[in-house]
């Protein structure tokens, strides 16, 4: 599995999105917990023969921060759904647009004149079932 960590860009991304989403059901855990080595070890425990966890990074590129936002608005399920849920709330949709663009601008690690770059840390989880 490739699980985003809470630290860094993914954690910030999901924090921005969460401010505009309906509250999760009682007892629901945030998906970025799967990026916590401790949480994954606790979940798998003795159920697997081996469990290898490695933190790595990948980079997403876009022409500009605004293009990055537009790409997510068209393709990333939680963001697509969020905009659909805000269709009858133009003020909230505009506020999310501003916050999302601010995040995209702040998180851009590319050169000002070059493409925008977004570095995401993830936890690579490789488990082997017992008996294999």
> Whole-prediction pTM value?
0.87
| Per-residue pLDDT tens digits for 61-102 | 999 999 999 999 999 999 999 999 999 999 999 999 999 999
CA distances from 63 to 49, 90, 95 (A): 44, 27, 23
Is 20:82 a contact under the CB 8 Å cutoff? Answer: yes
Host domain of residue 44: 2-129
Is 54:124 a contact under the CB 8 Å cutoff? Answer: yes
Q: How confident is the model at residue 132 (pLDDT cuts 50, 70, 90)?
A: low
Domain count for the chain: 1
- Please name the residues in contact with 42: beta carbons below 8 A apart, sequence gap of 6 or more: none
Per residue in 95-116, is it b (16+ CB within 10 Å) or e — as a string?
ebeeebeebbeebbebeeeeeb
- 3-state SS class at 118: strand
- Please name the residues in contact with 80: beta carbons below 8 A apart, sequence gap of 6 or more: 73, 74
H-helix or E-strand containing 50?
A: strand 48-62
Q: What is the DSSP letter of 27?
A: T
| pLDDT at res. 24 | 87
């Amino acid at each position: 599995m490739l699980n985003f960590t809470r630290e860094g860009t993914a954690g910030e991304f999901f924090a921005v999105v969460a401010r505009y989403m309906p509250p999760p059901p009682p007892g629901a855990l945030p998906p970025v917990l799967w990026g916590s080595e401790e949480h994954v070890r606790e979940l798998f425990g003795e159920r697997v023969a081996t469990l290898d966890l490695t933190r790595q990074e990948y980079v997403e590129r876009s022409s500009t921060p605004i293009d990055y936002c537009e790409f997510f608005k068209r393709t990333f399920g939680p963001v697509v759904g969020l905009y659909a849920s805000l269709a009858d709330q133009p003020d909230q949709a505009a506020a999310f647009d501003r916050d999302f663009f601010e995040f995209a601008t702040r998180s851009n690690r590319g050169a000002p004149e070059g493409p925008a770059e977004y570095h995401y840390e993830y936890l690579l989880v490789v488990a082997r079932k017992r008996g294999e």
